[in-house]
Amino acid sequence: MFVSIIVPVYNEARLVPEVVNRLSTLSDPRWHYELIFVDDGSTDETAAVLTRVARQHVVLSHRKNCGKGAALRTGFAACRGDVIVTFDADMEYDPLDLPSLIAPVANDDAPVVYGTRMVDDNPVGYHAYYFGNWLIASLTNLLYNSRLTDVETGIKVFRRDVLRAIPLKRNDFGFEVEVTALLLRRGVPIIEKPIHYQPRTFSQGKKIGWRDGIIALSLLLKYRFFSLV
């Protein structure tokens, strides 16, 4: 069985070698990993570094920065996996958590699995962002009758046919809410598994901002009441 891991990358030249190395060490006799890195129009040395360190994997690129959602869609279109995984390139997540999230989808026990950061063992970075994540999850649960704790997580695992049936359009960080809302409106169950999380600061390169949180909340309302599925 093929498992495709899609990694959108933007201005992460410093971290790319470690991300590629850690993901490349994943090994499991149950399935074959395919790594797809999508450089989203980086303005630093990311493209050159990816070409050098990820030559054994698939490297795609955008001429200009289009956003996380657009980068993921580029990866989705190119992947061969029966199971499709999203993974961020910022080293906030631990690749060793992936097998436990992939297994339920690969075994047909669940169509979608999210890795939740909202566990007691994980540190809290910015408290405003922690509250924002809680608020987004709470509104999701209220509007879509779900029981999620982490909609904005960067690790999401999908069965290929389930993901391909969703008409994704968001180019930005709104992808996280878009895919969640459209799945829930179609009655697709989403289960969560705990993951390790090491938040980074803005000085370390954190990119998502408070405006993205406002967009996420507005999208939850849009897809619940106004958007056709």
Q: Band of the pLDDT at 202, cuts 50, 70, 90?
A: very low
Q: Band of the pLDDT at 133, cuts 50, 70, 90?
A: confident
CATH superfamily membership of 2-225: Spore Coat Polysaccharide Biosynthesis Protein SpsA; Chain A (3.90.550.10)
**Count of alpha carbons within 13 angstroms of residue 228, beta-carbon side:** 0
The fraction of the chain above a pLDDT of 90, given in percent, is: 79
Q: What is the mean pLDDT of the chain?
A: 91
- Please state, in angstroms and rounded to a whole number, the distance separating the CA atoms of residues 134 and 139: 9
On whether the CB atoms of residues 3 and 34 are closer than 8 A, the answer is: yes
> Each residue of 75-109: pLDDT tens digit?
999 999 999 999 999 889 999 999 999 999 999 99
Tell me how long the chain is: 229
Nearest to 166 by CA among 138, 158, 221: 158
For residue 120, the model assigns a pLDDT of 74
**What does the longest C-alpha to C-alpha distance in the chain come to?**
47
The fraction of the chain above a pLDDT of 70, given in percent, is: 91
Q: Is the pLDDT of residue 229 over 50?
A: no
